[in-house]
Chain A
């Protein structure tokens, strides 16, 4: 059974810092990996989708990488801002099933 782990569970950084969030998964037979952002009590907003054949995706200050063979993905956030404060979740897709990690709760202090 696929298991997705996110480290750290929580992170607090000063504004302007570059940071890396980690996601690992146990079964490398995935179709894709997706990073989401969730604000308190709200639904999820898709940030980046990486297909299994891709190594990375970029959107603005965000860059996500995927290493299928090692079962790892990272989300890099450049020049963090207080508005980036949220919970970040990664999810993988296996055979029409979806598996989420428990998320990293990010707090960016002004």
Chain B
């Protein structure tokens, strides 16, 4: 059972715009991670939040930012959208900081940048 949800399912934006993607973790999961998955590739780690603090970051520029809230919801914000930002964005939650726990993934948000 995953219980992780994401919204919206699909989104179309134009270059230069800003976007906010949302994730609702399983109840009790203190950790959320965000990933970008381009077509035909494996997911690329963007960052992880643990108890509302950023706890690890991949090789993504500062225009990718996030927030985690006490109610187990979180957001991924991307500013100044570029064409290469078109991808499936996945969030995953786990009980602790992710070192030893299984990650449970949501279905993803498909972002298209025109």
Contacts and interface: CB of A to CB of B under 8 A. Distances in A.
A10 to B, nearest CB: 11
Given A42-B107, A43-B90, A96-B56, A101 B102 contact: no
Interface in A54-110: 89, 91, 93, 95-103
Interface SS of chain B = loop
B56 A43 contact: no
Contacts of B4: 43
Given A4-B42, A102-B40, A102-B41, A96 B48 contact: yes
Interface stretch (B13-21, B79-87, B92-100): B92-100
B66 to A, nearest CB: 14
Nearest to B106: A43
Contacts of A93: 98-99
Interface residues of B, number: 31
A93 B100 CA distance: 9
B56 A97 contact: yes
A96 B99 contact: yes
Contacts of A34: 102-103
Interface in A33-58: 34, 36, 41-46, 49, 51
Given A96-B55, A98-B33, A46 B102 contact: yes
Given A34-B103, A93-B99, A98-B35, 11 more contacts: A31-B99, A31-B100, A32-B99, A41-B110, A43-B105, A43-B106, A44-B90, A46-B103, A91-B42, A96-B56, A97-B58
